[in-house]
Structure 1
């Protein structure tokens, strides 16, 4: 029941949008909505994660139930998608969280679970293909691939191969190819493992056979034929025996036909070669045709994976768009526009470890909301500064930024000398995890009464960016300070920045390592003054 107690505490903190015990800007609490999902529906989810006997969890309201599932999976690398989906639901805006929690229980948790399973499957298949390619490459020099060769990076594999042949006079061309791959780019090492090492080994074998003066030409031809069969068999992972190597060429090809998967290019080429009665065709298949067919199979598999990756990325983008997570949309679009390798890297790891960087220009990350209170009770004694607005403002304007021609404008009218603040949400964020080296930075330009007569310059300085985290905590109450020694809280920024110029604010977040950002908020907080405030914010970054 310890986890449930934690979940309940987190739930209260998240609903309030403030750390319990906050001395400043404590918004009013709201009552949790009644559960929408049925008991049976929540039980089905609990059973999915081995929690079917935790009836106290099942009886929780939807949002608290989602937090309970999140608490169970948050540190499990096999359920990253479930964790992210749960965070998206329970850390959403108060007006959205009930519906998103319900959708999580009914559909999203199962979709996320399936994505986790598919990701694990793809990783296992990629490892199997990597093991096969490395085993085949190592076998070309009569080495059985051990754990060190199979489990390291491509660079590790190439280095180990180079070390094994460095003092072996039998493999000069393999040594040269390994050295070139070792000193080259990632693509060179991939090509070395896929085909380059086997090709170099074949040249070394041919050179040794040709230099053997003790053998007749017929004996050399026979040895070359056996070597070609061995390399071909190694390339597809077919067990090599003397009986296999001594088979006539056509019979060897039939063995390949029966060994390879139905529908593969290697099998199709083997069938075509078998249909021929020309020994030259058989020899060509063994010497080069099989290897070319393997390359075609690799390219077909890569294209299928690329198309599957694109479909998954489009699904991520659609969900992110629905959840107003425009930062995730931005990074997904960037991955879709990149190379297949960049897209794969994004789906495999990058999507779970995002940064934020925006100047609010075209093609950059824009706010999810404008002029929207961050939580119930997030605005107290602050009115619109003018015109027909119903509350304080926060939105992108065509006003010169620190860089570019746009910026994020904030404004309002403080009408109370003892208690006043306005916290407006700007961006829905996910998949940003604070590390020891993560920093929040932004530039702020507090304006004076030359912009509007209602504005008091000092008031315009009482503004700062606040971050909300998935555990219900926030930046403003964390006691963290910026690099100038001021607390990262809008009330503690009053008169600490200069009016009428751009000021850089940098907040090292390392003390909050492990926390996951869910929302970016801009807050005005000043209990002891009245009057208008207005200013601009630009070049926001959350990054290492």
Structure 2
């Protein structure tokens, strides 16, 4: 049984029958093909329904597999906590006709539970990250005697730095903290993270030292005691210990033992505290309190970051493996880009980026390549069109080493039209997923209809009857959407006939805003012309689906 994973991006080639006005009629898949898949049992559907609190909905349990999957999807599609379940359901019910029954069965039997568990794990990791952030901010705020409230804990790092700067801007006690906050505020994200983790406490320590040194009236013993208390306070704040007079008045070694007992097993802070406790040298104890504990905290932070980075890389590799299996090379491209970036880039991709992709390719080295060559898009997707070259029995579509609009490669289309009454050829090129149409999304590409100087069979006018078509997760397509390109021509290959200039590159731009909310699953190149016969050939390049 094939498993679906987080990044399931299986190409969806479900196509609704075009309207009467369409230049092509696409037959529905056969009943025999649809009946080939497994069917879920009542018990399997009940287990899924119970999982989502719908076990008492008898009408839900009586639905066919695909309708059942759609009903589960409809219940979670707007829930940000169940995005993995939503994606898994979409992959199942929006797949190609010949695959959807089997995928819907697999969703009900196993994949929905795996997706549910992935959602739970993602929420757990987000909660852990929030706890770590709260501890770091609480410790930083406590270094200037501020109790971290909701405003300090819940905003961005930039918000935290700004609020700290506002609180100390008129307080003469914290000039170094004020300066450090201003620098972090005007700096990068990394500067603000460092300010919260170590910089604010370090600046507070300097301010405290400066105030102590400025108090000439105090004896050296009093100053030393104040410095010792201040160091213990900063150390306790750094690891989230509650600061009390009793704690600050402890002898150094007893204070370190408190730190040992407070920290989690296996941490660098605990290891450093144990090592300092073993020593009988007061200099070692003081060094731990003044600097050692802070160095150990920094090591713990780096270890935690590295563990998360390694976990993120493993998750991305799993996405990549599944996307490769499903021929979703656009998702593979974006996953590789995230893996090659910074740990923050990878984290952003896993949290949000992977669910909102775009497409841009010129078919060069390292760019997104087609998932298929010379492959019919759907059942009876080619009518009265043969191969124009060599030993091919059908029309061609694939990358060639022919100069594109940019670069040295392009996507070549070709075929031989054999009918003056009904002829079309729709070939699928790319499996896509996680591309959601927005109000500002556009499809754009460059197309070069060729003449008979390339092959004698080619009729130049025939070469213009070509356009890119898109299939969406609901089974509908671009060509029957009635949308027009920016030149006023229908986004349908039959309506591009003689609207393109032969022998030169033509840019076609189709605003997709009217289809906002739809999810692109397959990119198709279609030829459609019922009137003339003869060969056609041309090149397509610089395809984009983006805002």
Q: What TM-score bracket applies, with the shorter chain setting the length?
A: over 0.9
Change (3 A) 1:93 1:22: farther
Alignment of 1:59-458 (within 5 A): 59-458=62-461
CA distance in structure 2 between the partners assigned to 1:165 and 1:22 by the alignment: 70
CA distance in structure 2 between the partners assigned to 1:67 and 1:372 by the alignment: 28
Change (3 A) 1:366 1:278: same
Residue 300 (structure 1) shift:
0.8
TM-score normalised by the chain length of structure 1: 0.94
CA distance in structure 2 between the partners assigned to 1:185 and 1:50 by the alignment: 45
CA distance in structure 2 between the partners assigned to 1:286 and 1:151 by the alignment: 30
- Deviates most, 63-72 or 387-396: 63-72
Alignment partner of 1:23 is 2:18: no
**Residues 17 and 468 in structure 1, CA contact (< 8 A), matched pair in contact too:** no
1:153-199 superposed Cα distances (whole Å, 9 cap, x missing partner):
11111111111111111111011111111111111111001100000
CA distance in structure 2 between the partners assigned to 1:231 and 1:19 by the alignment: 71
CA distance in structure 2 between the partners assigned to 1:116 and 1:36 by the alignment: 26
CA distance in structure 2 between the partners assigned to 1:333 and 1:55 by the alignment: 45
Residue 491 (structure 1) shift:
1.5
Change (3 A) 1:518 1:18: farther
SS at match of 1:373: coil
SS at match of 1:458: helix
SS at match of 1:534: strand
1:490-535 superposed Cα distances (whole Å, 9 cap, x missing partner):
1211111111111111112222222111111111122222222111
CA distance in structure 1 between the partners assigned to 2:206 and 2:18 by the alignment: 69
CA distance in structure 1 between the partners assigned to 2:65 and 2:399 by the alignment: 35
Alignment of 1:505-516 (within 5 A): 505-516=508-519
CA distance in structure 1 between the partners assigned to 2:61 and 2:326 by the alignment: 25
TM-score normalised by the chain length of structure 2: 0.94
Residue 21 (structure 1) shift:
6.5
1:91-138 superposed Cα distances (whole Å, 9 cap, x missing partner):
223333333333323332222222211111111111111111111111
| Residue equivalent to 1:4 | none
**Residues 17 and 375 in structure 1, CA contact (< 8 A), matched pair in contact too:** no
SS at match of 1:505: strand
Change (3 A) 1:102 1:322: farther
| Residue equivalent to 2:534 | 531
**Residues 250 and 282 in structure 1, CA contact (< 8 A), matched pair in contact too:** yes
Residue 81 (structure 1) shift:
1.4
Residue 429 (structure 1) shift:
0.6
**Residues 18 and 474 in structure 1, CA contact (< 8 A), matched pair in contact too:** no
**Residues 491 and 524 in structure 1, CA contact (< 8 A), matched pair in contact too:** yes
**Size of the alignment, in residue pairs?**
532
Residue 19 (structure 1) shift:
5.9
Residue 473 (structure 1) shift:
2.0
CA distance in structure 2 between the partners assigned to 1:56 and 1:136 by the alignment: 54
Alignment of 1:45-64 (within 5 A): 45-64=48-67
SS at match of 1:440: strand
Aligned residues: CA RMSD: 1.8
CA distance in structure 1 between the partners assigned to 2:331 and 2:534 by the alignment: 38
Residue 267 (structure 1) shift:
0.9
Change (3 A) 1:370 1:61: farther
Unaligned stretches of 5+ in structure 1? Answer: 1-12
Change (3 A) 1:15 1:433: closer
Residue 60 (structure 1) shift:
3.3
Change (3 A) 1:267 1:22: farther
SS at match of 1:209: helix
**Residues 396 and 409 in structure 1, CA contact (< 8 A), matched pair in contact too:** yes
**Residues 41 and 106 in structure 1, CA contact (< 8 A), matched pair in contact too:** yes
CA distance in structure 1 between the partners assigned to 2:227 and 2:93 by the alignment: 67
Residue 281 (structure 1) shift:
1.1
SS at match of 2:405: coil
Higher normalized contact order (CA 8 Å, seq sep 6+, divided by chain length): 2
CA distance in structure 2 between the partners assigned to 1:169 and 1:66 by the alignment: 64
**Residues 35 and 62 in structure 1, CA contact (< 8 A), matched pair in contact too:** no
CA distance in structure 2 between the partners assigned to 1:161 and 1:21 by the alignment: 66
| Residue equivalent to 2:524 | 521
- Deviates most, 496-505 or 112-121: 112-121
**Residues 23 and 529 in structure 2, CA contact (< 8 A), matched pair in contact too:** no
CA distance in structure 2 between the partners assigned to 1:120 and 1:312 by the alignment: 15
